[in-house]
Amino acid sequence: METPRHWRLRKQRYGLIGEVCPHCDVKIFPPRDVCPACGSEAKTPFAFSGKGEVYSFTTMQSGPTGFNENAPYTVALIQLEEGPMLTAQLTDLDPAEEVTIGLPVEMVTRKLRTDAGAEGIILYSYKFRPVFTA
Ligand SMILES: [Zn+2]
């Protein structure tokens, strides 16, 4: 059964798709079909640029089961340039460079882990990496 929600979840693996409020133009992520600013129905898809900056962050010394190969890792609260905030893992960090509040970041789609089960499902997730400016 193909529902709009399934379609949206699949699209999110390849891009940052949220919604935009047709009434007050507020950008919404994750999609929730209701504008957090004015409370109106908001079902218009909106593709975010995937760019933002670090709002706050924390470094994890060990990951949940299946993620330990990536530990330690840094999880950040990222404010997208369109406004919404989301939590995501940071990647491609230079060990010599410290993560700072306000660090410019951009979204990348990464393989999260490969399920060892019979179907060999590969899970993808978005992460963010620092934007290098010359
Ligand atoms: Zn609104």
Report the predicted TM-score, pTM, of the whole model to 2 decimal places. Answer: 0.71
* Ligand 1 centroid distance, CA of 39 (Å): 6
**DSSP string covering 40-69, please?**
-B--EEEE---EEEEEEEEEESSPSTT-GG
* Ligand 1 centroid distance, CA of 38 (Å): 4
pLDDT digits (tens, 9 = 90+) for 19-65: 999 999 999 998 999 999 999 999 999 999 999 999 999 987 765 66
* Ligand 1 centroid distance, CA of 37 (Å): 5
User: Residue 18: which of 38, 34, 39, 1 has the closest Cα?
Assistant: 34
